[in-house]
Amino acid sequence: MDAEDFINGQVLLIDKPLNWTSFQVVNKLRWAIRKKFELKKIKVGHAGTLDPLATGLLVICTGKKTKTIEELQAETKEYTGRLRLGETTPSFDLETSVDKQWPLEHITSQMIEKTTEHFMGRIEQIPPIYSAVKQDGVRLYEKARKGEKVEVKKRMIEIFEFEITNINMPEVDFRVRCSKGTYIRSLANDFGKKLESGAHLTQLRRTRSGDFKVEEAETIEGFINRLESKSE
């Protein structure tokens, strides 16, 4: 690949590491491409945010391919993850500390399996307060971190598949295939409520986005090494 390839447009599949924001990944790749080809600027964007505590498939577009980002964002997503029953956090994941403990002695494996049925199809979901959703031009997580009260509007999402893959109380592993805009953190929180307990997300990995699979993705370092090894 040369400079023209990136300007005309490439779709790059990156396996996002833990604790990186999607924005940081985009910046890193943009910087590497500009440096390699001595470009003053080049458009680079991602087709669907992953939280810093999530790993997995991040679809990155360059140059003219950035025009397809909206189309790619609309694709069905698939995730694998783990939630912990009996505890909740304000962010619905490990970004914030446990704020409340809930009973879980009444919960059976059969109940857990059965509860997935409540979330199938088109459902209303409230995004987490600690999210990138904008309200009055400000991202909700910015307001939440300042301790401001925010009222988050429900949104319609769709769950196509929701499979429990392992139960080792209080940990529950799952796989979800869902529509654009689904917050798996909210799904974990709502799942705990439906079990008359609490829950928060402890692991999340995006495995698919449309026809793209995480197995086809490369690490940030892998991409940069491949880029730098190209002859001038």
* pLDDT tens-digit series, residues 116-171: 999 999 999 998 887 777 777 777 777 777 777 777 889 999 999 999 999 999 99
Residue 73's pLDDT is what? 95
Model confidence, pTM: 0.93
Distance CA 54, CA 182 (A): 14
Residue 195's pLDDT is what? 98
- Nearest partner of 116 among 168, 176, 170, 179, judged by Cα: 176
On whether the CB atoms of residues 184 and 50 are closer than 8 A, the answer is no
**Ranges of H-type helices in the chain:** 3-8, 22-37, 69-73, 109-115, 140-145, 184-194, 220-228
- Whether 5 has a pLDDT exceeding 60, the answer reads yes
Catalytic residue among 51, 93, 99, 211: 51
Report the half-sphere exposure of 160 (CA within 13 A, side-chain side): 9
Structure tokens at 157: 């999402």
Instruction: Set out the domains of the chain in order of their start, with CATH numbers.
Output: 3-74+211-228 (3.30.2350.10), 77-209 (3.30.2350.10)
Any catalytic annotation for residue 51?
Answer: yes
Name the pLDDT band for 231 (thresholds 50, 70, 90): low
Residue 133's pLDDT is what? 75
